[in-house]
Amino acid sequence: MSATDDTLRANQIYSLTFSHKHLSRSPERKLAVLACMDARIDVELILGLRVGDANVLRNAGALVTEDILRSLILSHHLLGMEEVMIVAHTGCGMLSFKDEELKARLHDMTGAAVVSPQSFGAFANLEESVLDQIQKVRSHPWLNGLTSVRGFIYDVETGRLREVMEQSPALSYDLPPLDTALEEIS
């Protein structure tokens, strides 16, 4: 059995108790989340989202690419999405290589030159990358109706998010500890 076969079996079981038939196509919380594809991040779980709440977009590095812009514009204008969260994370694989070296290695390994992907988007600084992605969304003329575009780094060792603030990449804001957060809610 392959991993794919395992998932098909799991889906058969899932469908037996399926209860999301009446969900809307539009995200209930008017939210889109762009997160890295890293397997350690369960986007819905770490953000307390339920199915139907948000448009969740993922790629390597949580990068605002042509295709992510396409999805965000559709989400905003056709599905009513108003807020964007960008979720990068510690230990991201995109910090571990350089585009040109990887391209050269793949070229050597396969003997083939390719036109696509033009870039893998590797980056050397996580905070700077998050700020770049925020800027790409904010500066798009078809996304200037968004009410909020914020960026975060998820710590894969603690499960906590911290916000990357635009004013100073070096100083990022740590979200309050859970007990404080719970006191504020109550």
Segments in 23-83 forming alpha helices (H): 43-47, 66-79
Q: Which residue in this structure is represented by tokens 């009513």?
A: 80
Residues 85 and 29: beta-carbon distance below 8 Å: no
35 contributes a contact to Zn ion by CB under 5 A: no
41 contributes a contact to Zn ion by CB under 5 A: no
Number of residues forming the site for Zn ion (CB under 5 A)? 3
Structure token pair of residue 143? 């996304």
32 contributes a contact to Zn ion by CB under 5 A: no
Shortest distance in whole angstroms from residue 184 CB to Zn ion: 30
Nearer to Zn ion (CB atom), residue 30 or residue 89: 89
Q: According to CB under 5 A, which one of 92, 122, 134, 149 is a site residue for Zn ion?
A: 92
36 contributes a contact to Zn ion by CB under 5 A: yes
Nearer to Zn ion (CB atom), residue 125 or residue 139: 125
Burial of 156 by CB count in 10 Å (0-12 exposed, 13-18 middle, 19+ buried)?
A: middle
Nearer to Zn ion (CB atom), residue 73 or residue 95: 95
Nearer to Zn ion (CB atom), residue 32 or residue 122: 122
Shortest distance in whole angstroms from residue 155 CB to Zn ion: 12
Structure token pair of residue 84? 């964007």
Determine if residue 77 is left, alpha or beta; phi over 0 gives left, psi from -120 to 50 gives alpha, anything else beta.
alpha
Nearer to Zn ion (CB atom), residue 36 or residue 84: 36
Supply φ then ψ for residue 58, to 5 degrees.
-140, 145
HEC letters along 149-168: EEEEEECCCCCCEEEECCCC
38 contributes a contact to Zn ion by CB under 5 A: yes
With contacts defined by CB under 5 A, name the span among 30-38, 77-85, 151-159, 165-173 that binds Zn ion. Answer: 30-38
Q: Rounded to an integer, what distance in angstroms lies between the CA atom of residue 60 and that of residue 66?
A: 14
Contact residues toward Zn ion (CB under 5 A) are 36, 38, 92
